[in-house]
Amino acid sequence: MKEIVANPLHLKSLNHISLQCRSVEESVKFYTKILGFVQVKRPGNLDFEGAWLFSYGIGIHLIQYEDSHNVPKKNEINTKDNHISFQCESIGFVEKKLKEMMIKYTRQRVEEGGIYVDQLFFHDPDGFMIEICNCDILPVIPIAGDMVRSCSRVVPAVEAAVTSTKLCSAMKK
């Protein structure tokens, strides 16, 4: 399998996503207790309320809406909506936990060439879509046709604080 070589901007990795939220405190609880993120220090000179979280090699920056009362909340789960996806070890385990936590979700199965990918979709407290899947079993095949590796490496929260350069080097081995 080949590594992807086209990188005109010399990017190293995804660093973070930013999400506006009605309640930073409620969102921190969700992302730490449900998804296993760790709250990390954010620069003290930022002049707005927020929180930074980190795990799985990526950050989530939560930003408090200035007028949180006028923000529409999404209730219906639309699997085609904007979302962030996390790979899991066991879709059955995740589904059991979501049921125990009484989190409303939608399950979907996609088949491609005899490979079945299971997906669970649910919302964070502000209606942002989360997907949990076993997508790493599906090969990543660029349109040009050369297969590349998908990342199925499990990165514990503390280990994930390693610089992205070291992480990329380790994944190439």
* Residue 62 near residue 21 (C-beta atoms within 8 A): yes
- Degrees, nearest 5: CA angle 15-21-24: 85
112 is catalytic: no
* Contacts with 157 (C-beta within 8 Å, 6 or more apart), sequence order: 36, 37, 38, 54, 55, 56
Catalytic residue among 26, 76, 89, 131: 131
| Token digits of residue 29 | 């609880």
Task: Name the residues annotated as catalytic.
Answer: 131
